[in-house]
Amino acid sequence: MKIEVSGKGGCGKSTLSVLMARSMKKLGYRVLLVDGDESNIGIENMTGIAEPMHLLDYLGGKKGFKAKLNQTLMTDNPAGLFSGKQTIDDLPKECIASAEDGVEMLVIGKIHHFGEGCACPMGVLSKKFLASLETGDREVILVDSEAGVEHFGRGIVGECDLIIGVIDPTAESFQLAKKMTQMAANADKEICFVLNKVEPAIEDVMKQQLEPANVIGMIPKDHSIFMESLEGKQLTKTLPEVDEICRKILMKA
Ligand SMILES: Nc1ncnc2c1ncn2[C@@H]1O[C@H](COP(=O)(O)OP(=O)(O)OP(=O)(O)O)[C@@H](O)[C@H]1O
Ligand SMILES: [Mg+2]
């Protein structure tokens, strides 16, 4: 199963991606957490996983990747990364790092230099990568994406089986939820929402703004999650709410 985690900037996509990856691993699944955010770099702190070689760098950076892509497009029998038949085990070992609990992680690529140009290659690579990967029965690819709807515009979510929209207590998040719902429908993809940073006093206000059937769960506002993020530490929190959300997601597989 391939899942994309989406939402506005700072709503908790990376936090939720890491917590869900661990929970799904605990539930007996092989989990590959994919850092699909070309700008932000915080997820490595949260996982405590030593950063693997980025896939884009492995492919020779933007230039090398472009050349390989052109080669692939020119052959009748494309092999390797874009064959459409690869599994997690076929991915370059240098690009996968593992946490102590067995969650695996891959980073698509990051912007490194002033003036290096747009992030289109990362978008193209994300799409090709997801399109070409086949997942087994008890395997999950969990993609933490960049803020906003760029990955919808690029069609990356079209390569996933499910989109999880993370909603924090802001009007912008709810506006974006409507837009993501429309875009997911256009792509014929299922989307469901997780309400994040929920406090008892605002729970009802948050719930009222979404179709109840589309809300898969709620995560409380948690001080220790916030503090670990502030201090750049590995996330240590486990939440029963996350486990419950993961069980529901995995039942869809
Ligand atoms: N349930 C929660 N309780 C308290 N704080 C939270 C919770 N979820 C996320 N946060 C905090 O919100 C901030 C943003 O979280 P995170 O980096 O996961 O968001 P993001 O959506 O990935 O952001 P970006 O768009 O920059 O990638 C962090 O300070 C994080 O600790
Ligand atoms: Mg993030």
State which ligand 1 atom lies nearest to the alpha carbon of 226. 31
pLDDT value, residue 66: 87
pTM: 0.94
CA of 43 to the centre of ligand 2 (A): 7
Positions in the chain short of pLDDT 70: 73-84
CA of 86 to the centre of ligand 1 (A): 32
Q: What is the CATH number of the domain that holds 114?
A: 3.40.50.300
Cα separations (Å) of 161 from 6, 33, 91, 138?
A: 13, 15, 20, 14
Residue 218's φ and ψ, nearest 5 degrees, are -130, 140
In the numeric block, the tokens 């997911």 are attached to: 184
Q: In this structure, what token pair is assigned to residue 43?
A: 């997820």
State which ligand 1 atom lies nearest to the alpha carbon of 196. 1
* Contact indicator for 150, 121 with CB cutoff of 8 Å: no
Q: Whose CA is nearest to atom 9 of ligand 1?
A: 12
Q: Whose CA is nearest to atom 16 of ligand 1?
A: 12
Q: Total domain count for the chain?
A: 1
Q: Whose CA is nearest to atom 25 of ligand 1?
A: 9
State which ligand 1 atom lies nearest to the alpha carbon of 10. 23
Helix axes 120-132, 61-74, angle to 10 degrees: 50
pLDDT value, residue 34: 97
CA of 78 to the centre of ligand 2 (A): 33
Which residues' Cβ are closer than 6 Å to ligand 1?
Answer: 7, 9-15, 37, 40, 42, 147, 196-197, 219, 221-222, 225-226, 229
Which residue segment(s) compose the domain that 42 sits in?
A: 2-251
In the numeric block, the tokens 């980073």 are attached to: 107
Q: Whose CA is nearest to atom 30 of ligand 1?
A: 226
Looking at 157-219, list the stretches that DSSP marks H as alpha helix, in order from N- to C-terminal side.
Answer: 171-186, 200-208
State which ligand 1 atom lies nearest to the alpha carbon of 40. 27
